[in-house]
Amino acid sequence: MASSTVICPSTTPSSSTSHSRNYYYSACILRRHVRTLSFSSSSRISTNRASRTTMPGSKSYRSGFTKCFSASSPPPPSLSLPSALLFDCDGVLVDTEKDGHRISFNDTFAEKELGVTWDVDLYGELLKIGGGKERMTAYFNKTGWPEKAPKGEEERKQFIASLHKRKTELFMALIEKKLLPLRPGVAKLIDQALAKGVKVAVCSTSNEKAVSAIVSCLLGPDRAEKIKIFAGDVVPRKKPDPAIYVLAATTLGVEPSSCVVVEDSAIGLAAAKAAGMKCIVTKSGYTAEEDFVNADAVFDCIGDPPEERFDLAFCGSLLEKHPRDEEPEMPRIVASQLWLEASWKTINVDNFYMLSIWIRG
């Protein structure tokens, strides 16, 4: 009888005080009896009592059991699809930061004669702050406000808002000229999702008009009308706060746990995971060296065939509970490692009788 999975109790069966009769069984007889019932050459047993998870592919059970999976049994193919596919915008749909947003910020500063220029390295540091208005405010608070900036707090907020509005206009002009292309594989993955009835949304800290321009101009009006946009000040707190992803799931009428997010930054990843969603990272120019240890998968891009990195089926596979991730029902064939190691041990009649009944089913 072949068996590729063996469940091993991690504690010795307790003796019963209700029975006065104890039967003594030779270890060799017991070994033969249990081996006949449950073992074959393909069986795998964890032999370390102190550490039941030392074998490759093993999993601990709350009840003190360890399941050892056959290395030759790959997980089944994905049959699931996400309820929603949520994309960040900048760095995911388009690599906009270096030659898009940064240039637009600098052109705005030049128009207003603020004497400020953000170089490539500095802007990379500023990207750790979510949101353009928040980014400018943090920069001026640290380096000093320009002479032309007002002194009052409320007036400064209005000053920042006016700068950001002009920056957005300049950025949208770049997008409308299609000077910044979609990243590889974006259109393909969105088409796969829409064809399968998976809801698609873009969730970004950028200005809503800028995000809408990217979606409409670069993805086309047919796709754009099917894609929900959550952007800008639609939530009071920006990434890494999960608010925008929570809002997206609520508005779309889906569970966060059934959503897959595509992000490119550590703060975006943190927001997605805090919302309880799966997250795939596609690294961009500014985020390649960031820490993505908590991501469900990391790629350099989505990719178009023949260099496709992942597709909708892969997104769905992240939502499936792999056998290694859950506790399956215990099989009736059970072998006690402790009993096999015993020699002339006392085994209570009740315990042995119940074991034999369970094995027989």
Q: How many CB atoms lie within 10 A of CB 357?
A: 10
Cβ(31)–Cβ(340) below 8 Å: yes
| Distant-in-sequence, close-in-space partners of 195: CB < 8 Å, separation ≥ 6 | none
State how far the Cα of 174 lies from the Cα of 99, in Å rounded to an integer.
10
Residues acting as catalytic residues: 88, 90
> Where is 301: in which H helix or E strand?
none
Give the C-alpha distances (Å, rounded to integers) separating 8 from 11, 52, 196, 279, 355. 9, 9, 43, 35, 13
Diameter over CA atoms, the chain = 98
Q: Which of 249, 251, 277 is nearest to 263 (CA)?
A: 277
**Beta strand extents in 121-258 (DSSP E only):** 199-204, 227-231
